[in-house]
Amino acid sequence: MTIKNQTQNAYHRKKNPERVKKLIIENAMGLAAEHGVNGVSIQAVATLSGVTKGGVFHHFANKQLLIEAMLEELIQQLDDQISLMMEKDPVQYGRFTRAYIDVTLSSEFGVDTLWSALSMTVMTDKSFSKKWDRWLKQRLLKHSDTDHAIELNILRYAADGVWFVESLAPEIQDDYMDLKKELLARTYLKDE
C-alpha cells in the first residue's frame, strides 16, 4: 500500500480511536528503536500509521507527549514481563530482583533495543527519569517483604551497570551472560 493510499484510507476506514492511538505509539516505538528518540518525527509516525499529522496531534499534542506515551508503554511492557517471571519463581526471597535482572538483561529489553534507546532519554531528561523512579519505588514498596535486603539492592545496581556498560561498548564485554548468571545466582544468597 502506498503512502497516498494509507492517507486516503485514514479518511475512509471505520473510526477506532484507541486502536489508532496504539498504532501511533507502536510506530513511534519502532522509529525510536531504529533511529533513536531524536529520529521520531510526527510526520514519519503519521505516515507509518496511515494517518495525517493532524491525526497524530489529535492523540498527542506534541512530540514530548508522544515520547512520554512510548516510555509509559515500555515501562508497562517491562512491568508485565517482570510480573510473568515472578509468577514462575517459587522462591520468595529476591523474587523481584531476579526477575528485574533477568528481564533487564534479556534480549528484549537489553542492548540495541527500544528500551536501550529510551533509557538514554530516561537518564538525560528529568521528567522521564521521574516516571522510571516512581515505577521502581512502587515495585520495591510492593515487594519490600522479599526484596528489601541491601545485598539485593546492590545486585540490581550491578545489573544496571552491566546493562549500561554493554550498551556503551558491547564488543568489549564478552562475559555479559556470565555476569547475568552470577548476578542471578547471588539473589538466592540470604545474609542471615
pLDDT in tens, 92-102: 999 999 999 99
Which residue in the block uniquely carries the three cell numbers 514530548? 64
Please, is 62 exposed, middle or buried when counting C-beta atoms within 10 Å of its C-beta (0-12, 13-18, 19+)?
Answer: exposed
Residue 58 scores a pLDDT above 90: yes
How does residue 4 score in pLDDT terms, banded at 50, 70 and 90? very low
Q: Average of pLDDT values for 150-179? A: 85
Q: Average of pLDDT values for 114-126? A: 70
Distances (CA, A) of 37 to 27, 54, 63, 151: 12, 21, 10, 34
Contacts of 179-183 with CB under 8 Å at 24 or more apart are 180/101, 180/102, 180/105, 183/101, 183/105, 183/155, 183/158, 183/159
How does residue 127 score in pLDDT terms, banded at 50, 70 and 90? confident
Instruction: Quote the CA–CA distance of 32 and 115 in Å, as a whole number.
Output: 9
Residue pair 71/118 in contact (Cβ under 8 Å)? The answer is: yes
pLDDT at site 171: 67
Kindly report the average pLDDT of the chain as a whole number: 85
Residue 144 scores a pLDDT above 60: yes
Higher confidence at residue 113 or residue 188?
188
Residue 175 scores a pLDDT above 90: no
pLDDT at site 9: 53
How does residue 1 score in pLDDT terms, banded at 50, 70 and 90? very low
Instruction: Quote the CA–CA distance of 96 and 161 in Å, as a whole number.
Output: 18
Higher confidence at residue 13 or residue 14?
14
pLDDT in tens, 75-91: 899 999 999 999 999 99
